[in-house]
Amino acid sequence: MSEERIYRRKAGDWKAVILELHADRGMLLGSSQYGEMTGVERVKSLVAIDQPIYDAHTRIAEIEDLRDRAIPIPTGYKYRVKSIRNKIHALDDEALGVLE
C-alpha cells in the first residue's frame, strides 16, 4: 500500500504543476500580446507551454508504471490484483492511514 501512497503524492504534485501550466496557457491565449503575434510567434509561445504539459503527463505515466511494477504479479492473478488495485485507488488518504 505504500507504493499507492507514494504514487498519489508524486502524481498529485505533477497534477498541480499541470494545473498551473494550463492557467499560464489560458492567460497567454487571453492576452492582447498573443493577438498581435504572427503565426510563427504564436506557435513558439504555445510550444513553450505545451511541451512542459506533455512532459508532466509523461512523468505521471512513468510514476504509474513504476507503481504497477513495484510488486510483480503472477500471470494467473492479474485480474484479481487489478480489481484490488482499483479498490485501493478508490480509497481516500484517511482509509490508507495517511496522517498529515
Model pLDDT for residues 68-92, shown as the tens digit of each residue: 777 666 666 667 777 888 887 787 7
Q: How many helices (H) and strands (E) does the chain have?
A: 5, 0
pLDDT tens string 38-64:
999 999 999 999 999 999 999 999 998
pTM over 0.85: no
By the 8 A CB rule, do 46 and 25 touch? yes
Domain ranges of the chain: 2-73
Which amino acid does the sequence have at 92? D
